Chains A and B, each alone.
Chain A
Amino acid sequence: MPTKIEKDSLSGQNTTGHEWDGLKELNTPLPKWWLWTFYACIAFSLVWVVIYPALPIPGATGTSGWIAREAVVRDVQEAEARMAPMMNRLRAATPAQIAADPEMRAFAMAGGRGAFANNCAGCHGAGGQGALGGFPSLADDEWIWGGSLDAIHQTITHGVRANESDDQRQSMMPRFLADGVLTRPQVNDVAEHVLSLTNRATDQASAGRGAELYADNCASCHGEKGEGNRDLGAPRLSDQVWLYGGDKAAIVQSIAKARAGVMPSWGKRLDPAIINMLTVYVHSLGGGE
């Protein structure tokens, strides 16, 4: 508590009344300009509270009716209006036309990059590098359903085995062991034969037995020499790109229980213009055909 307020004769100011080891402190008022600025700020804030939605009450708007959310909506609408002419062109064009037109292509690459990061990168990776376990790389030269602009467009639009579109990429590999088509030793033999397609078989006798089983059960889709069939989404078995792993255990697992990766039908979710942009972008990642 202030004990003894006294007037300082030098400056004419009162002291605060506190005393610390003989030291006293002047109670100098704030400069006038500072005080007036401070009062002006208070007055300004009162006006602000009335005009703008400053009170933490749900649904409270100021007298101006300005709402941050509406401002965002307006900004988004403005941006969309600005992009509309180009988006209309992208919607009307085919992916091939877009890729051939420098202006549309530049727009599609930029928009495709964003759309890819938002929708595709979760499974296919930021640069389309894919991931082991059924998420194909989009940057290599191996395509399950085809790597041309039209094939990519078809796959993105209708999806794979998601049962969301009648035109989806559809095929079903039998579960050879689980459904009792092959016995466990036979599955092993087929796996050895598949390994032999890339010269990796360890048991030539087993591989030899597997050759006939392969010809009967697998070759119709995967091809006699494992060259694959894109119409059926049957991956090539004679190369070094493996969707679910290329070691023997993974191959046995694939034969025994089958694999069936799924991708949603993006035609149901995205604007056709964005699908076109995605098509051109994915095609440019390195694998486009």
Chain B
Amino acid sequence: MGEIKTPDKLKPESVAEAAIPSLYADRQRVYPKAVFGKIRSVKWAVLILCLALYYLVPWLRWDRGPGMPDQAVLVDMTNARLFFFWIEIWPQEIYFLTGALILGAFALFAVSSLFGRLWCGFTCPQTVWTDLFMFVERWIEGDRNARMKLDAGPRNGIYWARKIAKHGAWALIAAATGGAWIMYFNDAPTITRQFFTGEAGVMVYFFFALFAGFTYLLAGWAREQVCTYMCPWPRFQAAMLDENSLVVTYHDWRGEPRGKAKAEGVGDCVDCAACLHVCPTGVDIRDGQQLECIGCGLCIDACDSVMGKLGRPKGLVAFETLKNLSASAAAAAALPPGPERQQAGMAARRVPRFIRPRTIMYASALAVVALVMLGAFLMRSTLDVTVLRDRAPLFVRLSDGGIRNAYTVKIVNKTRDEAPLTLTLEAPAGLRLTVQDVEAIGEGRYALSRRGDGITQYRVFITAPAGARLGESTPVTFRLLDSAGRPATSQSSVFLGPKP
């Protein structure tokens, strides 16, 4: 101490005098007001579509023949299969899921760079379920003012009746959400019956409770705090946005200075706070771009209806690029508030540049991943053969001096076709193929039956006659031919012998 100067405000004496503010801020409750308009209608449509998909898809049926589940979309954990309509994914093909997730990520990046936070504002489950919960809340407790009054008022019978009704309704929706989740992993009609008769497994009840509980917690209680504090996406989505992305913006060049509708020399914003009151995250869009804004656009509807009533042009708050915003601001800067300023500003706007390096990059990445996925899917094998060479012993010396190797051949059949396949060996002359417990149908040819949708295992031997001049390791190829004699699949291995 001593030589280093400490700013006055950090000196202990001065701090001790001033009250130290707490670093903890209580949550400001948000009471979003009902709003009507074009964007609200789109949001309702998206909400109904998303929820209908989520709740109803498990009930779609898809005939796969006898002995197979007839649920269109099913993650069958017990049998390690993923069914999606006509597609059946085995565990070793889980990269299709990875590919789908990568595809989703790039689609999200592309959409964000073009249209801003469409995902956050319209389709994110947090937004969709919160919207639904708010709708129920508004229906039971009334709109913004009524709810604020209720919460501020006495804890009387009406208060408790409404609260219980609201939380009961929320709990029902949450239960339906958890209930739909378990249907994706079990046959929907069966699990529904088992669920209510208590026959379902512990894990089923656990995941039901997990998803129901978190739906209630996140959509009922946490709401915008999930977006603001928990979700990582808002933190790095700024990297996808630029001045050409459409974002929800307030046209300050037109709205400022704010003032009463009939006042002279003021902008179009009448400071009615309608935009603030309808915001589900409680932000003021007039403060500019901010992390908490999920881009749902409800403030646009709110402002448009006010502007409509005042007979002023709509679009004071709108989906707009930051580039257009500054162009409008520059064009309108010299003009006084009024229709002329509004027209000059609007005239300066240009069609957003949708095609730009960033979007081209995202689109190409999206196309490449989609093509790779499509290629992988089209070339996806429905029949595989794996050959496991015996390691103990590496080879067996036979009584006539011959050498024999043993292999386990597994036929992986992803279809329900059970037609037998012919196993042949491609190897230097002299090596002879035999299959345990299977009679040859020709010279070195064996008809192997296979299970549909399963793995069939055979024990196979290759024998070299005494004195065969083979090295320590000889490459061999096992080939499976279909009933028409065409090569179906093959697998190479080696034939081992003693050092020559």
Contacts and interface: CB of A to CB of B under 8 A. Distances in A.
Contacts of A164: none
A143 to B, nearest CB: 9
A9 B466 CA distance: 95
A25 interface: no
Contacts of A9: 12-13, 15-16
A129 B15 contact: no
A137 B401 contact: no
A286 B390 CA distance: 11
A139 B400 contact: no
A71 interface: no
A126 B394 CA distance: 11
A263 B4 CA distance: 91
Given A140-B399, A239-B399, A284-B459, A10 B393 contact: no
A256 B404 CA distance: 33
A140 B396 contact: yes
Contacts of A99: 437
A241 interface: yes
A141 interface: yes
Interface string B454-498: 000001010000100000000000000000000000000000000
Interface in A134-183: 137, 139-142
Contact of A139 (B13, B15, B16, B396): B396
A125 interface: yes
Contacts of A62: none
Interface residues of B, number: 23
A128 B390 CA distance: 11
Interface in B379-414: 390-393, 396-401, 404, 406
A199 to B, nearest CB: 11
Nearest to B466: A240
Nearest to A12: B20
Contacts of B437: 99
A240 B459 CA distance: 25
A99 B436 CA distance: 12
Contact of B401 (A236, A240, A285): A240
A240 to B, nearest CB: 4
A127 interface: yes
A240 B436 CA distance: 23
Given A9-B12, A140-B398, A286 B392 contact: no
Contacts of B404: 140, 286
B392 A129 contact: yes
A186 to B, nearest CB: 28
A142 B399 contact: yes
A250 to B, nearest CB: 16
Contact of A286 (B13, B20, B396): B396
B391 A141 contact: no
A218 B466 CA distance: 27
Contacts of B397: 140, 240-241
Nearest to B436: A284
Contacts of A239: 399-401
Nearest to A9: B12
Contact of A125 (B1, B13, B392, B399): B392
Given A10-B12, A139-B406, A236 B392 contact: no
A153 to B, nearest CB: 18
A282 B15 CA distance: 87
Interface string B418-444: 000000000000000000110000000
A140 B437 CA distance: 16
B296 to A, nearest CB: 35
Contacts of B396: 129, 137, 139-140, 286
Contacts of B392: 125-127, 129
Given A9-B16, A127-B391, A236 B406 contact: no
Nearest to B461: A286
Contact of B399 (A126, A128, A241, A288): A241
A128 B391 CA distance: 11
A124 to B, nearest CB: 11
A73 B39 CA distance: 66
Contacts of A22: 1
A286 B462 CA distance: 11
A140 B20 CA distance: 88
B386 to A, nearest CB: 18
Contacts of A125: 392-393
B398 A141 contact: yes
A125 B406 CA distance: 15
Given A9-B12, A286-B406, A139 B401 contact: no
B16 to A, nearest CB: 5
7 closest A-B pairs by CB: A129-B393, A127-B392, A239-B399, A9-B12, A126-B392, A240-B401, A142-B399
13 contacts: A9-B12, A10-B20, A125-B393, A127-B392, A129-B392, A140-B396, A140-B399, A236-B399, A240-B398, A240-B401, A241-B397, A285-B406, A288-B436
Interface of B: 1, 12-13, 15-16, 20, 390-393, 396-401, 404, 406, 436-437, 459, 461, 466
Given A129-B393, A137-B396, 18 more contacts: A9-B12, A10-B20, A22-B1, A127-B390, A127-B391, A139-B406, A140-B399, A142-B398, A236-B399, A239-B399, A239-B400, A239-B401, A240-B398, A240-B399, A240-B401, A284-B436, A286-B396, A286-B461
